[in-house]
A and B are shown apart, each in its own frame.
Chain A
């Protein structure tokens, strides 16, 4: 057992401890991917990352007043919640560098009051960084009374730095019902069919 290439008889405890450390490290790595992913998407603009915070206005940047970009509006309700949610205009022709306001209509079809959070996303993904909102209903949670319907404005501009190749930008909003507690019994059967099992909504 003095042969320098053979290790017969070593217990292997040290190797095992090192490998266990690798395993623990990789468990942490999985969690480290969460902030890393956020930063990566923010920096590169991959995955249609859009900031959910107000940006300053367009300011005095130079822009071509003749340039036109089509902005399309899409609204979806997450899951099978009792809401209607739609854009008031399906599209707008905008000039990058100028401020515009678009309206979305949401209606809480449940009889009690509730809270929603609306999350934006922009397609194509690379346009996400150049789509700036100075004012938006998506910045804060929106409280709705029972059966309330409301128009909600978003004020935005398209950064002139947007690639010339991008002719159309789609702004998509998804409405999440984030009230605490149980789901209303608006249509239990349909919900069960949809999910296959009861779901909680928090």
Chain B
């Protein structure tokens, strides 16, 4: 692929507008908004992380030690909401904003003003959500899944929760519509769909998932709202409704949602592994079809979250087999990444280390997922720490590791400086070791029967909980190093070349580092 750059620009389009507020508050530039999204994600990563630290501190030893049980429940609930809607989704959207236009040779996103609006709704939504911590009765404490009738007993925080979810939903829907419009309309000449980088493909599919399911969540929480304040009985058995129906509607959203949190990660490692293996990605088109298949399957497997509600045998069998089917396209992907590395001239810079750890540790999470898919086994595992271990392997060592890999991979392109490789490796090894100390013992706790979302536990679980908490504190502290490395890289460092990585392929690497404020105002020609 080659790019032709023209050096004739409109005079007033050279750089960002002057003034801090004008630049950041009103910006419609995809790179600025990408940065804002990622910084917001990083901030929320630490807010949600602080909540996780409270949880692990309380669970360090059996007994009620530090916080009262009601506050503990607020922490588990808010940790999930903050991490899902505040950290991982905005970080991925930020990466999409920054990278998709430069990867497809577009000058900006298709709808720049919508882009600005979508971002600024996020802080608004989180002000609403986090403000509940200071309300009498505290923050939502019924679990992030918002099951009625429990969620209806929240008190003052209930309407805040509902409207925060509405706002965050609108934000992510607008962001996704923008991404679809950009990818389908703004590609450079010659950039056919099947030439797009996999990150772009993964995000195109993710955006469709978001547009399809976020409105369903919005509908479900609206029903909760009317049940509480307007006398409807969608989920109240007393009025002819059914609380189990909420679970059906919620998980119809919820399962695609967990793939929204992982598909962009697949795109990221599909960019990084070929670069450092110095080989083209193995099975590009099978990767595209596998991603699309996973997205399709995500709509018909929601029942596996509900095996214990008293579902009839036929339902259990259907959801069990459909869920196990997800392992097939996922297996194709794992195979392709390994085949890409096979006989490659690999080097192990930090982004590659995080990507390899992603493949390995995400697979562990995938395999525990297959175990949970088995209805008869799930009756034992349901709502135990085994589930907690499973989804933290796919979300922390999966989604979060991929985001870290992406930051290290593209940071030189964003800042023009190389990050400190030595510190990056330190960050990688500290994170990878501690995250396993943190989450691996939770498998054993779950198999031994420790339920999730409890502030106290039987003494036989003490050792593994203490190990897990130590891992948790160490993992949390290690992330401060991540911030330090980013700050250090922004401030200076070895100058990056435009290619940055030997063997990097794609339009973004034809741009100088740091990439200018406006890029591809004249489309590149893709051959």
Which residues B104-122 have CB closer than 8 A to chain A? 105-106, 110-111, 114
Determine which of B192, B219, B523 lies in contact with A27 in the assembled complex, contact meaning CB atoms within 8 Å: B219
Encoded as 1 (CB less than 8 Å from any B CB) or 0, chain A from 66 to 90 comes to: 0000000000001100000000000
Q: Would you give the shortest CB distance from A197 to chain B, in whole angstroms? A: 3
List B contacts of A10 (CB < 8 A): 185-186
List B contacts of A46 (CB < 8 A): 311-312, 314-315
Give the contact stretch, choosing among A11-19, A95-103, A146-154. Answer: A11-19
Determine which of A9, A12, A26, A202 lies in contact with B111 in the assembled complex, contact meaning CB atoms within 8 Å: A12
State whether the Cβ of A57 lies closer than 8 Å to any Cβ in chain B: no
How many angstroms from the CA of A12 to the CA of B186 in the assembled complex?
8
**Are B137 and A197 in contact, with the CB atoms below 8 A?**
yes
**Are A15 and B216 in contact, with the CB atoms below 8 A?**
no
How many angstroms from the CA of A3 to the CA of B141 in the assembled complex?
55
Q: How many residues of chain A are within 8 Å of chain B by beta carbon?
A: 51
How many angstroms from the CA of A197 to the CA of B155 in the assembled complex?
5
Encoded as 1 (CB less than 8 Å from any B CB) or 0, chain A from 31 to 74 comes to: 10110010001001011100010000000000000000000000
**Are B215 and A47 in contact, with the CB atoms below 8 A?**
no
Determine which of B70, B190, B213, B523 lies in contact with A196 in the assembled complex, contact meaning CB atoms within 8 Å: B70
List A contacts of B181 (CB < 8 A): 12-13, 15-16, 19
Give the contact stretch, choosing among B230-238, B353-361, B487-495. Answer: B230-238
List A contacts of B309 (CB < 8 A): 47
In the complex, the chain B residue whose C-beta lies closest to that of A33 is B249
Known contacts A15-B180, A178-B238; is-contact A7 B216 (Cβ 8 Å): no
Which among B153, B214, B523 has the greatest number of chain A C-beta atoms within 10 A? B153
**Are A8 and B211 in contact, with the CB atoms below 8 A?**
no
Known contacts A1-B523, A8-B106; is-contact A26 B187 (Cβ 8 Å): no
In the complex, the chain A residue whose C-beta lies closest to that of B220 is A30
How many angstroms from the CA of A86 to the CA of B214 in the assembled complex?
43
Encoded as 1 (CB less than 8 Å from any A CB) or 0, chain B from 183 to 219 comes to: 0111111111000000000000000000111111111
List B contacts of A41 (CB < 8 A): 242
Known contacts A8-B186, A20-B177; is-contact A27 B191 (Cβ 8 Å): no
List B contacts of A8 (CB < 8 A): 105-106, 186-189, 523
List A contacts of B212 (CB < 8 A): 22, 26
Q: Would you give the shortest CB distance from B105 to chain A, in whole angstroms? A: 7
**Are A19 and B177 in contact, with the CB atoms below 8 A?**
yes
Known contacts A1-B189, A15-B180, A176-B237; is-contact A26 B138 (Cβ 8 Å): no
How many angstroms from the CA of A33 to the CA of B245 in the assembled complex?
9
How many angstroms from the CA of A126 to the CA of B111 in the assembled complex?
52
In the complex, the chain A residue whose C-beta lies closest to that of B181 is A12
Known contacts A15-B110, A26-B213, A37-B248; is-contact A7 B187 (Cβ 8 Å): yes
Q: Would you give the shortest CB distance from A202 to chain B, in whole angstroms? A: 7
How many angstroms from the CA of A25 to the CA of B212 in the assembled complex?
9
List B contacts of A6 (CB < 8 A): 187-191, 523, 526
State whether the Cβ of B310 lies closer than 8 Å to any Cβ in chain A: yes
**Are A199 and B190 in contact, with the CB atoms below 8 A?**
no
Q: Would you give the shortest CB distance from B119 to chain A, in whole angstroms? A: 16
State whether the Cβ of A119 lies closer than 8 Å to any Cβ in chain B: yes
In the complex, the chain B residue whose C-beta lies closest to that of A5 is B192
List B contacts of A7 (CB < 8 A): 184-187
List B contacts of A25 (CB < 8 A): 215
Given contact pairs A5-B191, A8-B189, A15-B181, a sample of 14 additional A-B residue pairs in the complex whose CB atoms are under 8 Å apart: A1-B523, A5-B192, A10-B185, A16-B177, A23-B177, A26-B211, A27-B219, A30-B217, A30-B220, A31-B219, A47-B311, A195-B153, A196-B154, A198-B155
Binding site for B on A (CB under 8 A): 1, 3, 5-13, 15-16, 19-20, 22-31, 33-34, 37, 41, 44, 46-48, 52, 78-79, 117, 119, 123-126, 174, 176, 178, 195-199, 202
Q: List 18 A-B contacts (CB under 8 A).
A: A8-B106, A10-B185, A12-B184, A15-B184, A16-B177, A16-B178, A16-B181, A19-B211, A22-B211, A25-B215, A27-B216, A30-B220, A33-B216, A33-B249, A47-B309, A174-B237, A197-B138, A199-B153
The 6 A-B residue pairs with the shortest CB-CB distance, nearest first, are A30-B219, A197-B155, A6-B189, A12-B110, A12-B181, A176-B238
Binding site for A on B (CB under 8 A): 70, 73, 105-106, 110-111, 114, 137-138, 141, 149, 152-157, 173, 176-178, 180-182, 184-192, 211-220, 223, 231, 234, 236-240, 242, 244-245, 248-249, 252, 309-312, 314-315, 523, 526
